[in-house]
Amino acid sequence: MTILPEVQSYYGRLKLYINGSWIDSKSSYTQLVMNPAKDEVIAEAPFATMDEVNEAVKAAAEAFEKWRETPITTRVQYIYRLKQRMEEHFEEISRITTQNHGKIIDEARGESRRLIENIETACAIAYTLAKGEHIDQVASGIDETLVREPLGVFTVIGPFNFPALAPFWFIPQALVLGCTLVVKPSEITPLPMMWCFKVLDELELPPGIVNLVYGSREVSEALIKHPDVQGVAFVGSTPTGKYVYKLAGEYGKRAIIQAGAKNYIVVMPDADLNKAIPALLTSFFGNTGQRCLSGSNLVAIGGVYESLKRKFVEAASKLKLGYGLDESVEMGPIVSINAKNRVINYIEKGVSEGAKLILDGRNAYVPEYPKGYFIGPTVFDDVTPDMIIARDEIFGPVANIIRADNLDEAIEMINTKTSYGNAACIFTSSGREAREFRRRVKCGNIGINVGIAAPMAFFPFGGWRESFFGVLHGQIDCVDFFTDKKIVIARW
- Give the residue numbers marked as catalytic: 292
CA separation for the pair 194, 200 (Å, rounded): 10
Distance of CA 454 to the CA centre of its chain: 10
Question: What are the φ and ψ backbone dihedral angles of 162, each rounded to 5 degrees?
Answer: -130, 70
Find the length of the chain. Answer: 492
Cβ count within 10 A of residue 345: 11
Report CA dihedral (319, 323, 326, 332) to the nearest 10 degrees.
40
φ/ψ bin of 160: left (φ > 0), alpha (ψ from -120 to 50), beta (otherwise)? alpha
CA nearest neighbour of 182 among 207, 160, 210? 210
| Structure letter (DSSP) for residue 320 | P
Half-sphere exposure of 126 (CA within 13 A, CB side): 24
- Rounded Cα–Cα distance for residues 239 and 19 (Å): 32
Tell me the C-alpha to C-alpha distance, in Å, between residue 210 and each of 154, 198, 219, 424: 10, 11, 17, 36
Angle between helices 407-416 and 431-440 (to 10 degrees): 20
Strand partners, 32: 44
Question: How far, in Å, CA of 480 to CA of 160, rounded?
Answer: 26
Q: Are residues 351 and 258 in contact, defined by beta-carbon separation less than 8 angstroms?
A: no
**DSSP per residue over 162-212, as a string?**
STTTGGGGTHHHHHHHT-EEEEE--SSS-HHHHHHHHHHHHTTPPTTSEEE
Closest C-alpha among 163, 149, 184, 167 to residue 57: 184
Q: Work out the angle at residue 292's Cα, subtended by the Cα atoms of residues 286 and 295, and round it to the nearest 5 degrees.
A: 55
Edge-to-edge, what's the strand order for the sheet holding 445-448? 356-359, 378-381, 398-404, 295-301, 263-267, 423-427, 445-448
Separation of alpha carbons 317 and 311, rounded Å: 10
Closest-CA residue to 81 (of 227, 204, 262): 204
SS3 content of the chain, % helix, strand, coil (to 5): 40, 25, 35
